[in-house]
């Protein structure tokens, strides 16, 4: 009779720093504490579909006695970021059964968690999720793997851009990721000394940003400017200038470039403007200490939940502890945007940062 549990682990959606640290924690705790077998599923649900697996042991993750996973970016399991997975739901469940899994841990952001929730319900799997995303938009958890490192990466870029902006009296427009959420732009903008932060949740006025930059220069002697723009920033309907965004919702040449053009027009070419799109640099790099700690705590807690017989839950960070929250509650409330009462919005305003018209918070 089989007594040992066979645990699968996969990473789904866009990668981020800290995924490998979570894999390491799951493998260590599951094998050392509980004596389970752990197998990695490559490329998320694609690995289940194709019945592929990689044996993971504490020993196989060692390199000359060191375990490199703690500080390695990306994911050793590979990942996919596609939304049409559920079209093959029966084949994926057949793959899970063929691999003879007793339980599965899935690490993903809000899109992946919804897919995995549907799969685990239909397949009747024992399943626990671990949240990760540089967008920080998973509901009911104060922290997710990858966000802390991404904030640090953006702040590092803002530090560098500030020196060159100040040397040339320029306005730097810095476009950051985040999809429909402004957490990354808001937190890195405050920590990186931005003058304007434009996020999806608070529609901005070009006129407002422009006059703020001019006032900083004319009244306060700050001859340069740093504008952090979330890729999903939303324009206010009554803004000035030619608002392609009001009609089309998405600019054709990227949000950073669009805002640079608008500010240039609004300032009658008085401002010297440059654009930096940070792109996937924000997803790379080695994980911060914060993300390593979080990944370790989440990995350990996910294994413990399985050992307690729990299923259909996500580990979440709440009030300094890791708790299990029903996955359905999470997916019903994600993506979770910056809320109107987020104290960091008030903090930004108190610091004199232009953050759009907060009376128009849309969600
Ligand atoms: O969800 C994470 C994220 O990095 C978003 O911030 C960004 O919009 C998107 O993924 C980029 O996806 P891809 O890697 O498929 O280009």
* Per-residue tokens: 94: 């057949």
Ligand 1 centroid vs 218 CA: distance in angstroms?
Answer: 38
Buried b (16+ CB within 10 A) or exposed e, 81-114: eeeebeeeeeebbebbeebebebbbbbbbbbbbb
**Per-residue confidence (pLDDT) for residue 65, from 0 to 100:** 75
- pLDDT for the residue 169: 97
Check residues 252 and 130 and name the one with the higher pLDDT: 130
Region 331-353 average pLDDT: 94
Q: How far is the CA of 59 from the centre of ligand 1 (A)?
A: 33
- Å from CA of 112 to ligand 1 middle: 13
Q: What is the pLDDT of residues 222-250, one digit of tens each?
A: 999 999 999 999 988 755 555 555 555 57
Which of 299, 314, 317 is CA-nearest to residue 70? 299
- Distance, in Å, from the CA atom of 350 to the CA atom of 339, rounded to the nearest integer, reads 17
Q: Quick one: pLDDT at residue 341?
A: 84
Residue nearest to atom 10 of ligand 1 (CA): 14
Distance CA 302, CA 133 (A): 17
Residue 2 above 50 pLDDT?
A: yes
Look at residue 67 in the predicted model and tell me its pLDDT. 81
pLDDT over 90 percentage in the chain: 85
Work out the average pLDDT over 85-96. Answer: 93
Q: List all residues 6 or more positions away from 231 whose beta carbon is below 8 Å from its beta carbon.
A: 175, 176, 177, 178, 179, 254, 255
pLDDT of residue 165: 98
Residues annotated as catalytic are 135
Which of ligand 1's atoms lies nearest the C-alpha of 111?
Answer: 1
Instruction: Say how many Å lie between the CA of residue 120 and the centre of ligand 1.
Output: 25
Q: Is the model's pLDDT at 63 over the cut of 90?
A: no
In the beta sheet, which residues pair with residue 197?
Answer: 228
Query: Residue 70: which of 286, 315, 284 has the closest Cα?
Result: 286
Pocket test for ligand 1, best of 17, 81, 149, 250 (most atoms within 8 A of CB): 81
Give the residue-averaged pLDDT of 317-329: 98
Long-range pairs, 81-85, Cβ under 8 A, ≥24: 81/13, 81/14, 83/111, 83/115, 85/45, 85/115
Residue 332: count other Cβ atoms within 10 Å of its Cβ.
Answer: 11
pLDDT at residue 245, as a whole number? 54
What mean pLDDT comes out for the span 65-73? 88
Tell me, what's the pLDDT at 217? 92
Atom of ligand 1 nearest to the CA of 282: 4
As a whole number, mean pLDDT of residues 147-165 equals 98
The pLDDT score that the predictor gives to residue 181 is 98
- pLDDT > 60? residue 256: yes
pLDDT for the residue 136: 98
Asked if 188 and 54 count as a contact pair (C-beta separation under 8 A), the reply is: no
Ligand 1 atom index nearest CA of 231: 8
- CA of residue 99 to ligand 1 center, whole Å: 30
Mean pLDDT score of the chain: 92
Ligand 1 pocket, mutate which of 144, 153, 179 (most atoms under 8 A from CB): 179
Confidence of residue 58 (pLDDT cuts 50, 70, 90): confident
Task: Give the mean model confidence (pLDDT) for residues 45-74.
Answer: 89
Mean pLDDT along residues 11-19: 98
Residue 104 contacts residue 115 (beta carbons within 8 Å): no
**Residues within 6 Å of ligand 1 by CB:** 14, 81, 109, 133-135, 177-179, 231, 283
Rounded (5°) CA angle 55-295-346: 155
- In angstroms, what is the span from residue 104 Cα to ligand 1's centroid? 24
pLDDT digits (tens, 9 = 90+) for 175-195: 999 999 999 999 999 999 999
Q: Is the pLDDT of residue 362 over 50?
A: no
Residue 310 Cα to ligand 1 midpoint, Å, equals: 31
Report the pLDDT averaged over residues 295-322: 98
Reported confidence tier of residue 363, pLDDT bands at 50, 70, 90: very low
Signed CA dihedral, 286, 289, 292, 298: sign only: negative
Distance from C-alpha of 297 to C-alpha of 206, rounded to nearest angstrom: 43
For residue 356, what pLDDT is reported? 87
pLDDT given for residue 247 in this prediction = 55
| pTM for this entry | 0.95
Q: Would you say residue 60 has pLDDT above 90? A: no
144, 133 Cβ separation under 8 angstroms: yes
Mutation pick for ligand 1 pocket among 17, 135, 149, 184 (CB with most ligand atoms within 8 Å): 135
CB contact set of 52 (below 8 Å; sequence gap of 6+): 41, 42, 43
Task: Indicate the top mutation candidate among 177, 180, 183, 233 to test ligand 1's pocket, ranked by most ligand atoms within 8 A of CB.
Answer: 177
Q: From atom 14 of ligand 1, which residue's Cα is the shortest distance away?
A: 14
Contact 168, 268 (CB under 8 A): no
CA atoms within 13 A on the CB side of 216: 23
Q: For 258-276, what is each residue's pLDDT tens digit?
A: 999 999 999 999 999 999 9
Task: State the pLDDT at residue 361.
Answer: 43
| Per-residue pLDDT, 238 | 56
Side by side, which strands form the sheet with 196-198? 196-198, 225-230, 171-176, 273-277
């Amino acid at each position: 009779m089989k007594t040992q549990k066979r645990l699968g682990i996969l990473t789904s959606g866009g990668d981020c720093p800290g995924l490998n640290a979570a894999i390491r924690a799951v493998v260590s705790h599951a094998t050392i504490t509980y004596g389970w077998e752990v197998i990695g599923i490559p490329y998320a649900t694609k690995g289940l579909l194709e019945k592929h697996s990689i044996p993971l042991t504490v020993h196989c993750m060692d390199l000359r006695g060191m375990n490199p996973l703690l500080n390695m970016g990306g994911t050793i399991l590979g990942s996919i970021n596609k939304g049409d997975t559920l079209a093959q739901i029966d084949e994926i469940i057949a793959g899970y059964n063929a691999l003879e899994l007793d339980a599965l841990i899935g690490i993903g952001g809000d899109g992946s968690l919804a897919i995995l929730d549907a799969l685990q319900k239909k397949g009747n799997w024992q399943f626990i999720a671990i949240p990760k995303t540089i967008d920080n938009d998973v509901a009911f958890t104060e922290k997710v793997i990858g966000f802390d490192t991404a904030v640090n990466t953006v702040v590092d870029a803002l530090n560098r851009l500030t020196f060159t902006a100040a040397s040339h009296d320029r306005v730097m427009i810095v476009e950051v990721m985040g999809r429909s959420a402004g957490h990354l732009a808001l937190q890195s903008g405050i920590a990186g000394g931005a003058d304007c932060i434009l996020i999806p949740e608070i529609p901005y006025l070009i006129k407002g940003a422009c006059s703020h930059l001019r006032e900083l220069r004319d009244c306060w002697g700050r001859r340069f400017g740093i504008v952090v723009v979330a890729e999903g920033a939303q324009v206010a309907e009554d803004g000035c200038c030619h608002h392609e965004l009001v009609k089309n919702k998405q600019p054709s040449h990227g949000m950073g470039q669009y805002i640079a053009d608008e500010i240039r027009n609004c300032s009658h070419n008085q401002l010297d403007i440059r654009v930096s799109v940070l792109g996937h640099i924000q997803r790379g790099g080695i994980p911060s200490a914060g993300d390593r700690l979080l990944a370790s705590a989440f990995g350990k807690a996910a294994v413990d939940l399985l050992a307690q017989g729990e299923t259909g839950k996500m580990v979440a960070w709440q009030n300094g502890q890791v708790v299990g929250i029903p996955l359905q509650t999470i997916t019903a409330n994600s993506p979770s945007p910056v809320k109107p009462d987020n104290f960091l919005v008030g903090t930004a305003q108190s610091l004199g940062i232009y953050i759009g018209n907060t009376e128009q918070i849309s969600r």
